């Protein structure tokens, strides 16, 4: 059990890192982009805007 | 253009991780003996090579749009982690990465650890070097594989990583001190910018977006990410100065 927990913790740290908000924000932005393109809207602008927004939020959280 | 980005990103990311791994290996070698430490380096290199050899071909059979969606998302998360730390370091909210200080700490810990010797091998030195190379190398392997497969050229990405290995290991062997003079924080900033740029581009493309100007959009995203990061650094520097001034006045 200890090893499984350590294994999970390693991958969480490796992929998600210090702030889960960045990972969650990226997933939400990708899903929203996919939904919009599925509805025939070429939402090329969404990922850059979301990327900047999430970066701003995660940096802000770290400096509060 | 994408090929240049690919090699440069792979080279910079690999160089940064290898500088960090070198610091740990040097501390292990000096404190616990070179035989055990270099055996640890060799073992970690073999494990990393197996990961690349097994996962590399597997990634090439995944449809490109699915691969770019997943890889783009992961690169964007990685890129934001790097860029966030780089912004915090550049603005003074986080201490700069100091290889000399890390080396001194690792060396002290390695010297203080008890002897775990059997069959002529110091297993503490082995484990320390193995862990250092494995953990730092895993990120390099991930970047090389994902960048390479998404761009359709794992060998090109591997060439960037190999060039970094030759340069960092060569200098490390020659000088036998941590490479503290490498502009590590600037390199991390550059890697964060590139991972974020590719992450935005590929994840959107994987989600079905057609970029205006096709691959040329990469340059616009790159300029935008650099601009936003620089604005954030300047804003945070001003915030830090005003906080310091308020602290002095209080």
Residue A37 has its nearest CB partner, among B77, B80, B207, at B207
At residue A31, the pLDDT reads 95
Say whether B232 and A59 touch across the interface (CB within 8 A). yes
A59:B210 CB<8 A: no
Each residue's pLDDT tens digit, B93-146? 887 767 777 778 887 887 777 666 666 678 888 888 898 888 888 888 888 888
| Cα–Cα distance list, B184 to B92, B138, B179, B199 (Å) | 15, 19, 9, 22
* B24-37 per-position pLDDT tens digit: 888 888 888 888 88
Cβ–Cβ gap B84/A55 under 8 Å: yes
Can you read off the two tokens belonging to residue B130? 């193995």
Question: Which of A15, A18, A44 shows the shortest C-beta gap to B74?
Answer: A15
Q: State the Cα angle at B20 between B17 and B26, rounded to 5°.
A: 135
Instruction: Compute the distance between CA of residue B94 and CA of residue B84 in angstroms, rounded to an integer.
Output: 10
Q: What value does the mean pLDDT of chain A take?
A: 89
Q: What are the extents of the domains in chain B?
A: 2-249
State the complex-level ipTM: 0.91
Closest CA of chain B from A32, distance in Å: 9
Domain boundaries defined on chain A: 17-63
- Higher pLDDT among residues B59 and B49, named by residue: B49
Taking CA A47 as the corner, what is the angle to CA A46 and CA A49, rounded to the nearest 5 degrees?
65
What Å distances lie between residue B65 and A27, A47, B56, B210, CA to CA?
Answer: 16, 16, 17, 12
A 10 A CB-CB count for B109 gives: 13
């Amino acid at each position: 059990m200890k090893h499984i927990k350590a294994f999970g913790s390693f991958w969480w740290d490796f992929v998600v890192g210090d702030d889960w908000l960045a990972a969650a924000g990226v997933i939400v932005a990708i899903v929203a982009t996919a939904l919009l393109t599925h509805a025939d809207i070429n939402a090329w602008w969404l990922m850059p805007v979301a990327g900047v927004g999430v970066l701003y939020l995660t940096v802000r959280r770290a400096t509060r | 253009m994408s090929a240049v980005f690919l090699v440069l990103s792979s080279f910079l990311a690999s160089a940064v991780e290898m500088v960090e791994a070198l610091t740990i290996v040097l501390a292990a070698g000096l404190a616990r003996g070179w035989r055990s430490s270099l055996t640890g380096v060799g073992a970690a290199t073999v494990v990393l090579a197996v990961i690349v050899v097994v996962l590399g071909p597997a990634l090439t059979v995944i449809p490109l749009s699915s691969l770019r969606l997943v890889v783009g998302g992961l690169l964007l998360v990685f890129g934001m982690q790097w860029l966030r730390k780089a912004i915090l370091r550049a603005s003074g909210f986080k201490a700069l990465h100091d290889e000399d200080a890390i080396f001194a700490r690792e060396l002290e810990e390695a010297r203080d650890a008890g002897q775990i010797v059997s069959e002529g091998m110091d297993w503490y030195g082995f484990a320390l070097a193995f862990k250092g190379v494995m953990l730092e190398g895993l990120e390099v392997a991930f970047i090389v594989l994902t960048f390479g497969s998404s761009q359709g050229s794992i060998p090109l990405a591997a060439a960037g990583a190999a060039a970094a290995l030759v340069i960092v290991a060569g200098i490390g062997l020659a000088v036998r001190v941590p490479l503290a003079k490498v502009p590590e924080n600037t390199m991390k900033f550059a890697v964060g910018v590139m991972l974020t740029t590719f992450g935005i581009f590929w994840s959107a493309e994987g989600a079905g977006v057609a970029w205006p100007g096709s691959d040329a959009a990469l340059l616009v995203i790159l300029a935008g990410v650099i601009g936003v990061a620089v604005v954030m650094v300047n804003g945070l520097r001003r915030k830090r100065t005003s906080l310091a001034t308020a602290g002095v006045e209080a």
